[in-house]
Amino acid sequence: MQRISLAHGEGGELTHQLIQEIFIQSFGHLEQTQFDSAILTIPSQTIAVTTDSFVVKPIFFPGGNIGKLAITGTVNDLAVSGAIPHVITAGFMIEEGFSIKSLKEIVNTMAGEAERAGVNIIAGDTKVVEKGSVDGLFINTTGIGVMQEQQHRLKPEMVQEGDCVIISGTIGDHGVAILSARQELGLLTNVRSDCALLNHPVHELLEEIKGIRIMRDPTRGGLATTLVELCEDFHFTMEIDEASIPVRRDVQGVCDILGYDPLYLANEGKVVIIVDSNDKQKALDILKDHEVGKNASVIGQITSSHGQSGKLFLKTTVGTTRRLNRLSGQLLPRIC
Amino acid sequence: MQRISLAHGEGGELTHQLIQEIFIQSFGHLEQTQFDSAILTIPSQTIAVTTDSFVVKPIFFPGGNIGKLAITGTVNDLAVSGAIPHVITAGFMIEEGFSIKSLKEIVNTMAGEAERAGVNIIAGDTKVVEKGSVDGLFINTTGIGVMQEQQHRLKPEMVQEGDCVIISGTIGDHGVAILSARQELGLLTNVRSDCALLNHPVHELLEEIKGIRIMRDPTRGGLATTLVELCEDFHFTMEIDEASIPVRRDVQGVCDILGYDPLYLANEGKVVIIVDSNDKQKALDILKDHEVGKNASVIGQITSSHGQSGKLFLKTTVGTTRRLNRLSGQLLPRIC
């Protein structure tokens, strides 16, 4: 048995084998074999829940694969909400003919990332569709996290003028890695996706620093879209400084050639933090202690200038200031 | 705007509009606009979690659509595990060009079913892929339920010889409805999918009857596969009586013509119950009080005959007895 067949998704003997030989092998016992749901006791009644579907193309790319994205993406969403990631469910939608070897590799990657993150994969589901009805493999992951105690939660209501905006590292790496991996573009770069777990540094930040106001991971839509959403959702104005935003030289090079803006390219292992300016250095120190945060940088601040609330401004390298909006129109489909 | 475009899935302005105009309109406020996760307090620390992807073809069929399936399927999985369904997340994977009118109809159906079930849809995700990369629309739903108090939970450890097996109604309706809706088969039947919420009758059964041992909803793989799994998982032997299994005449007719066995066809609004024989009548009475249970019937019992454990036997209408196995091989892809 080397390829997935429709019968693997019918709920009968082959589905049973697939679950036993691939999923339970990697994920351990899925409680769904005894009941139709996983049943568990969680450490608190206040929880965070997030869901994400992954349709990245190609499925394997420099720096990761769809399974790594699925686990890190969901873990990171929980972490930046101020929750400790606890359990994850995984739904697989597979094209008939998909390589079982590739599926095993993806599932193993997921198991490894889940272990590193400290989460259990507790329930799964597999559907198989005819050739041509899905492009290879889509994965949905839903995560449940347990909220940290009140004093260690985010405090968006405390945001004030002068608060600093920090990004944990270079932007646009994931977007460019995916672009490069789509060979039809004929690009040759060494850029790898930044796809990585953020829950450990984020947890440390929340435990150690009282002045953390808001965190968000700037994935689809990039840093600019994420910051616009923050400005709108929480009704403040932010100014970021183009010169201080870390961008790899090769990422900038690809963007210059193809006309992309790194501010709008997806990241899969970065966090944006709004923090009390008195805690700025402490936050940078904690981030730089972790591999994923070694290029952390202060990139802007909450301001009351420009006389407007809910807006994002960019101070450009040539000294002008312009307003940034959400990503609009088509940029890069199937980036995650 | 009449059709979904790739830009609807990029995380920018159009994604924002789509979420505002379609999802928030129907589902109410999704907490994910403020944080990357929905944050909520649940009534107990003991929870049930289940995940399911829906890839049914066609997306609209007699008796329902993919959205109705997604909500009822997830609610039912939680209910038959002995949990009270509490919240659901929904992930949409949409093909470029998909009709926005159809999407709205599906999302409205989901909102209506969720309301009837008493669950909130708390988080969502939308991905759009190029034409040809997914067949229309796939939906993943993940549900979280709160376990009932100990005395109202399932008691699989209490299963004993003589316990009765009940099915809440006719089998195979969903399978035949989907078959008929695939027009290439040229079938003309009036069979509608049985797709329906089961959580209210199931809740009543668990509240009112001490002797409920196990419940399961016989979806993919049909009644026979579900019962084989129960026999294997809980190490008992079961004998069911073909003559007592309710099958609609037109469903049997389609099966006779096409060579399908209703025992292996999917159901989407049925529950199998193993119950203390003393509580059999009470269980039937409760089921028959609900529209979804009006054709409930006792179809078999736990037995110690045949000298084997973990096996399922069928007493046929011609008086012979044969062993039933899981569904094997390809029957009906994309049934749910």
In a mutational test of the B interface, the residue from A133, A150, A271 whose CB has the highest number of chain B CBs within 10 Å is A133
Point out the residue among A33, A47, A80 whose CB comes nearest to the CB of B40.
A47
CA distance A89 to chain B (A): 6
Domain boundary among A96, A129, A147: A147
Residues of B in contact with A140 (CB under 8 A): 51, 53, 91, 93, 125, 140, 142
Q: Which of residues B99, B115, B147 is at a domain's end? A: B147
Considering its fold, how many domains does chain B have in total? Answer: 2
pLDDT in tens, A91-101: 999 999 999 99
Q: Do A35 and B48 touch (CB under 8 A)?
A: yes
Do A243 and A111 fall into the same domain? no
Mutate which: B31, B57, B142, B226, vs A, most A CBs within 10 A: B142
Q: Is residue A113 part of a domain?
A: yes
* Domain extent for B61: 6-147
Residue A289 and residue A308 share a domain? yes
CA distance, residue A227 to nearest chain B CA (Å): 12
In order, the DSSP letters of B247-300 are: --HHHHHHHHHHT--GGGS--SS--EEEE-GGGHHHHHHHHHTSGGGTT-EEEE
Mean model confidence pLDDT for chain A: 92
Cβ separation A125–B52 shorter than 8 A: yes
Find the helix or strand (DSSP H, E) in which A109 lies: helix A100-117
Which chain B residue has its CA at the smallest distance from A76's CA? B36
Residue A35's closest chain B neighbor by CA? B81
The answer to whether residues B300 and B164 belong to one domain is yes
Give chain A positions within 8 Å (CB) of B87. 49
A161 C-beta neighbours (distance < 10 Å), count: 12
More confident residue, A31 or A235: A235
Each residue's pLDDT tens digit, A33-59: 466 788 888 988 999 999 999 999 999
**From A57, A140, A327, residue closest to B10, measured CB to CB:** A327
Lowest mean pLDDT among A57-71, A147-161, A299-313, B181-195: B181-195
For B194-223, how does the pLDDT look when each residue is reduced to its tens digit (9 = 90+)? 999 999 999 999 999 999 999 999 999 999
Strand ranges for A168-320 from DSSP E: 212-216, 237-241, 272-275, 297-303, 312-315
The per-residue pLDDT for range B27-78, each reduced to its tens digit, is 886 654 466 788 888 988 999 999 999 999 999 999 999 999 999 999 999 9
Question: How confident is the model over A122-165, as pLDDT tens digits?
Answer: 999 999 999 999 999 999 999 999 998 888 889 999 999 999 99
Shortest distance between the Cα of B73 and any Cα of chain A, in A, equals 10
pLDDT at A171 over 60: yes
pLDDT higher than 80, residue B330: no
Segment B119-147 shows an average pLDDT of: 95
**What is the least distance, in Å, from the CA of A90 to any CA of chain B?**
7
Closest Cα in chain B, distance from residue A266 (Å): 10
Chain A environment of B154 (Cβ under 8 Å): 35
Phi, psi of A97 (to 5 degrees): 95, -5
ipTM of the complex: 0.94
With a pLDDT cut of 90, the percent of chain B lying above it is 75
What number of C-beta contacts closer than 8 Å exist between A and B? Answer: 289
Name the residue in chain B with its Cα closest to that of A46: B41
Residue A47: the pLDDT is 95
pLDDT at position B30, please?
61
CATH number at residue A77: 3.30.1330.10
pLDDT tens digits, B257-306: 888 999 999 999 999 999 999 999 999 999 999 999 999 999 999 998 77
pLDDT digits 0-9 by tens, A225-259: 999 999 999 999 999 999 999 999 999 999 998 88
- Minimal Cα distance from B230: which residue of A? A34
Residues A181, A304, single domain; the answer is yes
Cα–Cα distance between A154 and A117 in angstroms, integer?
A: 20
- pLDDT for residue B160 is more than 80: yes
Residue A299: inside a domain, yes or no?
A: yes
Asked if B138 and B205 sit in the same domain, the reply is: no
Mutate to test the interface with B, among A50, A80, A157, A232 (most CBs of B within 10 A): A50
Please judge whether B49 and A43 are an interchain contact, meaning their C-beta atoms are less than 8 angstroms apart.
no
Q: Please indicate, yes or no, whether residues A104 and A170 belong to a single structural domain of this protein.
A: no
- Long-range Cβ contacts of A256-263 (<8 Å, 24+ apart): A258/A179, A260/A172, A260/A175, A260/A179, A260/A331, A260/A332, A261/A222, A261/A224, A262/A171, A262/A172, A262/A175, A262/A222, A262/A223, A263/A171, A263/A172, A263/A222, A263/A223, A263/A224, A263/A314, A263/A324
User: Does residue B317 share a domain with residue B188?
Assistant: yes
Same domain, B216 and B129: no
Mean pLDDT, rounded, of chain B: 92
B46, B129, B326: residue with CB nearest A55: B129
Please tell me which of the candidates B16, B143, B334 has its beta carbon nearest to residue A326. B16
CATH (domain of A223): 3.90.650.10
A307 and A187 housed in the same domain: yes
A113/chain B closest Cα distance in angstroms: 20
A200: pLDDT strictly greater than 90: yes
Weakest-pLDDT range from A13-22, A129-138, A205-214, B84-93: A13-22
Task: Mark whether A177 and A313 lie in a shared domain.
Answer: yes
Q: Is A228 exposed, middle or buried (0-12, 13-18, 19+ CB in 10 A)?
A: buried
Interface residue of B50, B78, B213, B272 to substitute, partner A, most A CBs within 10 Å: B50
Decide which of B45 and A189 is more confident: B45
CA nearest neighbour of B145 among B32, B26, B43: B43
Q: Assess whether pLDDT exceeds 60 at residue B119.
A: yes
| pLDDT tens, position by position, A209-223 | 999 999 999 999 999
Chain A residue with CA closest to B157: the answer is A34
Model pLDDT, residue B306:
73
> Looking at the structure, do residues B24 and B101 belong to the same domain, yes or no?
yes
- Cβ separation B140–A91 shorter than 8 A: yes
Q: Which of A147, A175, A203 is the last residue before a domain boundary?
A: A147
Distance, CA of B306 to CA of B287 (rounded, Å): 31
With respect to residue A333, please indicate whether it lies within any of the assigned structural domains. Answer: no
pTM of full prediction above 0.90: yes
Contact (CB<8Å) B330/A10 = yes
Q: Which of A2-11, A131-140, A276-285, B279-288 has the lowest mean pLDDT?
A: A2-11
pLDDT at B192 over 70: yes
Region label for A112, one of left (φ > 0), alpha (ψ between -120 and 50) or beta (otherwise): alpha
pLDDT tens figures, B223-247? 999 999 999 999 999 999 999 999 9
Residues B131 and B175 placed together within one structural domain of the fold: no
Higher confidence at residue A30 or residue B206? B206
